[in-house]
Structure 1
Amino acid sequence: MDIKKILIWIPAIIMAMLIFGFSKQDGEESTGLSYKAADIILTVCDKAGIVDYNDNNRDSMIESVQFPIRKAAHMTEYAVLSVFIMLALIVDGLKGTRLPVISAIIATVFAATDEFHQRFVPGRYGCLRDVLIDAAGSIIGLMIAYVIYKNMCKHK
């Protein structure tokens, strides 16, 4: 087997390991991480004059944005994973309309196994809604990659 065909899978494997690493965090760790992310995003938005973020409304504002931030992070993780999978499949010789479909299926199956794994992590749970959110992230990532690819082909 060609070494290039093996090495091209490394980014997808690393991304899958990163996702799995986040999933094995217990509920408290996971909540703490998303709390910090929400705090940083709200602080930046406050500095830009987009929101009024201060000590009086800190907890309520963080609580209101934590869920969408967490889900956007999930979608982004799976967008990146599916693009890495697609690139590896291209090097492996897969072409045509099957390419994004198979990439999305692989990413979605990984999302389902990841949600199943979370059922065994203290303070975490797995649910179908999250698999669907991850699948949506995968599809969006593949669509963005397709648009970028088509634009690159036009400019050659």
Structure 2
Amino acid sequence: MKKFGYWIPSLLWMGMIYYSSSTPYEKQDVRPLLGSWFNLSWLTPFVEGITFTYHNQEVSVAAQGIEGFIEFFIRKGAHIGVFFILTLLLYTALRHSFRKGKRLCAIAWFLTLFYAVFDELHQGLTPNRTPYVGDVVLDALGGSMAVLAIFLWEKRITDEKRSLISND
């Protein structure tokens, strides 16, 4: 039963993601907030030449205004960050539930990817929201970054232990 406690943060985090995907875009739109709290016009000369297409829409200052352009990166950065954290939480739960193993990172990543797909499908049921495979790719990138962070952290700990043993 104690091992189940390690799953609670993952489940709560997935609940937060689910709630966020259930919220129509209009209730998550931060452009008015950005426009009223910050004068972002000084950024325009630095980013006005950046133009690309994402989900069949032009992303540029000309098409969205500076607030919309910045919001795009906030939203896509949130995809990466939220699924980075989910992977870390899932890995922690797996590690405490099962003995150590190199496959735990892969399992955590695949569980994250599965949830990312589920999240996009669920988002398709929400008014004014559409599922998009590009967002799943960003979610998978966040999970991959978490796997890399775990690998580097564990390598550092292993190296420190070896260093302490060799110094004795």
Q: Shorter-chain TM-score category?
A: 0.7 to 0.9
Deviation per CA, 1:9-37: give whole Å up to 9, x if none: 011011101111111111211224x653x
Match of 1:68 in 2: 73
Which runs of no fewer than 5 residues in structure 1 stay unpaired?
none
1:81 to 2:82 alignment: no
**Gaps spanning 5+ residues in structure 2: where?**
45-60, 162-168
In structure 1, the residue matched to 2:16 is 18
Give how far 1:43 is off: 3.9
Matched, 1:105 2:100: no
Q: Highest Rg: 1 or 2?
A: 2
Note if contact 1:8-1:88 (Cα within 8 Å) is conserved in structure 2. yes
1:147 equivalent in structure 2: 152
Structure-1 residue corresponding to 2:5: 7
1:30 aligns with 2:41: no
Q: CA offsets per residue over residues 98-152 of structure 1, 9 Å max, x none?
A: 1111101101111111100111100101111111110111111221132223223
The answer to whether the 8 A contact 1:24-1:121 is kept is yes
* 2:126 paired residue number: 121
What is the root-mean-square deviation in Å for CA atoms of aligned residues?
Answer: 2.8
Which of 68, 90, 95 is the matching residue for 1:90? 95
The ranges of structure 1 where at least 4 consecutive aligned residues each deviate by more than 2 angstroms after the TM superposition are 51-54, 94-97, 148-156
User: How high is the TM-score relative to the length of structure 1?
Assistant: 0.79
Q: How many residues align?
A: 144
1:83-111 per-residue CA deviation (whole Å, 9 max, x = no partner) reads 10001111111533311111011011111
